[in-house]
A and B are shown apart, each in its own frame.
Chain A
Amino acid sequence: EIVLTQSPGTLSLSPGERATLSCRASQSVSSSYLAWYQQKPGQAPRLLIYGASSRATGIPDRFSGSGSGTDFTLTISRLEPEDFAVYYCQQYGSSVFGQGTKLEIK
C-alpha cells in the first residue's frame, strides 16, 4: 500500500510570504493520480490541484503544483489571509491521503 507523507506537519508563515508544502510517496505514483485539497476549519475539503499540476476551476494562480515519481510539491507564491488552512495530498490509485500540513499565520 502506498503511503503519502506530508511535510512539514505545521508551517508558520506571514501573509505575503511563499509557502512550499511537500508530499512524498512511499513508491512511485502517476502524476495523473496526485491531487491536493484545502480544508478550512468547519468546512469540507475543496479540490485545489489535480494531475499534480493542474489548477481546479476557480483556484487562484498563486497556487501551483509540481513534481513526479515520489516527490510532489504545492507552492503558494504569495500567501493571502484566506490561504491559512490545512492541505492534504491524495493519491487516487490507492485512494490514500497524506496526513495533512497545517499552514498557520506566524
Chain B
Amino acid sequence: EVQLVESGGGLVKPGGSLRLSCAASGFAFTNAWMSWVRQVPGKGLEWVGRIKSKADGGTTDYAAPVKGRFTISRDDSKNTLYLQMNSLKTEDTAVYYCTAQSAYHLKYWGQGTLVTVSS
C-alpha cells in the first residue's frame, strides 16, 4: 500500500522557518519525481515545487511565489522528501501536500500538514 505521511506543520511567526517532511512507502521512491502542493483552507490547489529523481538529475523547480524562500530536497536512503520553508509570510498559510508523480500527473497524495504563519 502506498503511503505518504507529512509531518512538521505548525504555527510559526512571519519571517520564521519550518521544515516539512514526507515519509514515503509502498512504491519506488528513489525513481519518483516528487512535488509539494499547497491549499489555503477553503481555496484551490497551488503547486509549490518539484524535485526530480537523482537518476534524472535531482533538479528542482519552484513556483514563483516561493522561489528563493523554499527548498525541496530528498533523502533516498530514508525514502523521505523535505520542504524547507524560510522567510515565511502570512500568505504561506496552507495545508501542504506531498505528492508522487507518475509521468505527467500526481498519482499519490499524502494527507497534508497544516502550516499557519501568524504573529
Please give the residue numbers on chain A whose beta carbons come within 8 Å of chain B beta carbons, in ascending order: 32-33, 35, 37, 39, 43-47, 50-51, 56, 88, 90, 92-93, 95-100
Contact = CB atoms under 8 A, between A and B. Distances in A.
Interface of B: 35, 37, 44-47, 50, 61, 63, 97, 102-112
B105 A92 contact: yes
Contact of B47 (A32, A46, A47, A95): A95
A35 B106 contact: yes
Contacts, number: 58
Contacts of B35: 95
Given A32-B104, A37-B106, A97 B111 contact: no
Contact of B106 (A39, A47, A96, A100): A47
A97 B61 CA distance: 16
A98 to B, nearest CB: 8
Given A44-B97, A45-B106, A51-B103, 20 more contacts: A32-B103, A35-B104, A35-B106, A37-B106, A39-B45, A44-B111, A45-B97, A50-B103, A50-B107, A51-B104, A51-B105, A56-B107, A90-B105, A92-B104, A92-B105, A95-B50, A96-B47, A97-B46, A100-B44, A100-B45
B44 A47 contact: no
Nearest to A39: B45
A33 B63 CA distance: 18
Contact of B44 (A32, A56, A88): A88
Given A44-B109, A45-B109, A97 B47 contact: yes
